[in-house]
Amino acid sequence: MTDISFETNPEDYLHWNIDIKENLAFLTMNVNEDGGVFEGYKLKLNSYDLSVDIELFDAIQRIRFEHPEVSVVILQSGNQKAFSAGANIKMLASASHAHKVNFCKFTNETRNFLESSSRESLQHFICVIDGVCAGGGYELALACDHIMLMDDGASNVALPEVPLLAVLPGTGGLTRITDKRKVRRDLADVFCTMEEGVKAQKAKEWKLVDTITKKSSFEEELNKLILDFSSKGKGKKCNGIKLNKIEKSIVSKNHIKYSCVELKIDREKNFSKIIISSSDENIPINEKEMLNRGDKLWLLRCVRELDDALLHLRFNELDIGVIIFSSSGCIETVLKYDKLLHDFSSFWLTKEIKNSWERTLKRIDLTSRSLITLIEPGSCFGGFLSEIIFCSDRSYMAEGYFEGDEQPQASLTLSKSNFDFFGMSNGLSRLKTRFLDQDSKLNELIEVIGKTLLSEEANKLGLITFSFDDIDWDDEIRIFLEERTSFSPDSMTGMESNLRFAGPETMETKIFGRLTAWQNWIFQRPNAAGEEGALKRYGTGNRGKYNKQRV
């Protein structure tokens, strides 16, 4: 099977169109029926698969970076019959279990990305629903800031997965109607068990949508909303930067080389290694230089390449159970870039780069692989890059100089970026999550900001898991990898996911933890996925046959 690529651009879109008019963007979904990732199904009625969400993720990112002047995005359908019928059912019925779950996770991440636009970028999304809006289509609408539904006797909203498919809304629908839209539990129960959905007046009364409008007054109502949301936006002209194609070389099936990230795979030992290299370019000294550098700026290049490598591993390398993170280069250079994030924190481009790092670090948190960081001689884990250490399930740090290696001793350096700068899905920083209810420990760590920490002190401070000298290093890493890859992958996925998100629960942790865990289970049950299950029988005129036992 051909690898799935996550790189695209508006010229190559099959499913979306972006139209910019001053501070207004129209993002139109018009799915190409024959443009799916796999063969064997047609994406009718704006139903979607991973290809549609890959383009949506790219479009949101481009609106942020290339058109920062935009304050309102109108999300609408270009299909005359439907806004969106949701995730394509034939795709769900025929795809592998792993693909379905990874698809749901990526789609969740994309919805969250869209949802954060108003908070992070002052870009507000208004969803205009004209026609049927079901399942994942309504879940897309739920991620927007405002939902407008046509009151025409035909347009409706629905989450029909339970009665039709014997599964759950897989991209946050249940959580968003209760936690975000505050729909009453009993009404939500009724809504989620209705095949036919809910039309305008009832949808408004139940708080499933914000505005209902007749077609005769649609333009007037929409213009009022645009004016209202525009007043909350940027309100000024900004010069954006173009996001060009990522610099990427497929050396072999086991080796992908980017400009500052490298991915290596050892299939025999079942692990992959992502190596991040620091920059040798001059550090920009002002906003103009950052703009002129554009997407070539190391801070932005690095995060885009890291994100691409992670997605490649998620979807195309399912048998690789361990991801090792390492780094190489000058830690002082990384710390200078880290300082940029704070010195120019009010500059729109710096904000977007910071937000990109936050999303990608969350992507690491949510990746269902064993995550290990190796802090080796010559590494450059400083400031924001040190967050990768705290994303990992374990970290190993080299102690002292290694014989025959002229690289500097392994070290790490904390900065302001490690304290309440990058949030996890639980709303806390990674250090706060690491040291829950240990304010004295966090205060101790604040005291060492900017200090070069060698292995003994890093270990004493609780920043790493183990440290080994050059005599034991190779053997200890080898023993760990052999042990880790000998365990059940299912057990590892469950254990790691439970341990990574200590602390408070948020809407994000519910969506990724509770909902996707149950979706993972339900997707495998015969009632949904069996030969007589609802997914397989959908569209045949026969309903699924269910085992009635409650589990």
Q: Does the pLDDT at position 237 exceed 80?
A: no
Longest dimension (CA), the chain: 79
Could you tell me how far CA 181 lies from the centroid of its own chain?
22
Could you tell me how far CA 162 lies from the centroid of its own chain?
26
* Residue type, position 35, single letter: G
48 SS3 class: strand
Neighbours of 550 (CB within 10 A): 4
When pLDDT is cut at 50, 70 and 90, the band that residue 235 belongs to is: low
pLDDT for 231 equals 87
**Host H or E run for residue 296:** none
The reply to whether 10-230 and 248-498 are identical in fold is: yes
CA-CA distance, 357 to 480, in Å (whole number)?
A: 29
When pLDDT is cut at 50, 70 and 90, the band that residue 534 belongs to is: very high
Burial of 92 per CB tally in 10 Å (0-12, 13-18, 19+): buried
Neighbours of 269 (CB within 10 A): 13
Domain map of the chain by residue range? 10-230, 248-498
pLDDT for 1 equals 66
CB of 429 closer than 8 Å to CB of 420: yes
Q: Does the pLDDT at position 342 exceed 70?
A: yes
CA-CA distance, 54 to 51, in Å (whole number)?
A: 5
Question: pLDDT tens digits, residue range 183-206?
Answer: 999 999 999 999 999 999 999 999
Tokens 């208004």 belong to residue: 126
Looking at every residue in the chain, the average pLDDT score rounds to: 95
CA distances to 65, 98, 363, 438, 545 from 351, in Å:
10, 34, 18, 29, 52
CB of 135 closer than 8 Å to CB of 104: no
Structure tokens of 482?
A: 């052999």
CATH architecture, domain 10-230? Alpha-Beta Complex (3.90)
Burial of 460 per CB tally in 10 Å (0-12, 13-18, 19+): exposed
pTM for the full model?
A: 0.96
CB of 124 closer than 8 Å to CB of 233: yes
Q: Does the pLDDT at position 224 exceed 60?
A: yes
Which residue, among 510, 507, 500, has the nearest Cα to 119 in the 3D structure?
Answer: 507
Question: pLDDT tens digits, residue range 277-298?
Answer: 999 889 999 999 999 999 999 9
Question: pLDDT tens digits, residue range 1-43?
Answer: 689 999 999 999 999 999 999 899 999 999 999 999 999 999 9
CB of 424 closer than 8 Å to CB of 362: yes
CA-CA distance, 393 to 9, in Å (whole number)?
A: 34
pLDDT for 405 equals 85
CA distances to 15, 31, 49 from 34, in Å:
10, 9, 11
Query: In the chain, what percentage of residues exceed pLDDT 70?
Result: 99
The domain made up of 248-498 has a fold known as 2-enoyl-CoA Hydratase; Chain A, domain 1 (3.90.226)
Angle at the Cα of 208 from the Cα atoms of 204 and 214, rounded to 5 degrees: 40
14 SS3 class: coil
Give the contacts of 397 (CB within 8 A, at least 6 positions apart).
375, 410, 412, 455, 458, 459, 464, 466, 467
When pLDDT is cut at 50, 70 and 90, the band that residue 236 belongs to is: low
CA-CA distance, 86 to 133, in Å (whole number)?
A: 7
Could you tell me how far CA 277 lies from the centroid of its own chain?
23
251 SS3 class: strand
Query: In the chain, what percentage of residues exceed pLDDT 90?
Result: 89
Structure tokens of 35?
A: 């443009």
CB of 282 closer than 8 Å to CB of 223: no
CA-CA distance, 299 to 344, in Å (whole number)?
A: 13
